[in-house]
Homo-oligomer: A and B are copies of this chain.
Amino acid sequence: MKNRNTLQRRLVLETVRRMHNHPTADEIFREIATENTLISKATVYRNLKILSEQGEILHIPIPNGADCFDFQTAPHYHMECRGCERVFDVDMPYQKDLEKKVLNRNGLLIESHHIVFQGLCPHCQEQKALEHQKKTG
Interface centre among A104, A114, A117, A118 (most CB of B within 10 A): A117
Q: Does A111 contact B (CB under 8 A)?
A: yes
Cβ-closest 3 pairs across A and B: A61-B63, A107-B122, A91-B103
**A112 & B122 in contact (Cβ 8 Å cutoff):** no
A and B contact pairs by CB, cutoff 8 A, 24 listed: A61-B63, A63-B114, A64-B67, A88-B106, A90-B108, A91-B102, A91-B103, A92-B102, A95-B98, A99-B117, A107-B122, A108-B117, A108-B119, A108-B121, A109-B119, A109-B121, A110-B118, A110-B119, A111-B118, A112-B119, A113-B115, A113-B116, A114-B115, A116-B116
- A134 proximal to B (CB < 8 A): no
Q: How many copies does the complex hold?
A: 2
Main secondary structure of the interface of A (DSSP, over half): mixed
A residues 79-137 with Cβ under 8 Å of B? 79, 82, 88-92, 95, 98-99, 101-122, 125
How far, in whole Å, are A115 and B121 apart by their CA atoms in the complex?
20
A62 within 8 A of B: yes
CB atoms of A113 and B117 under 8 A apart: yes
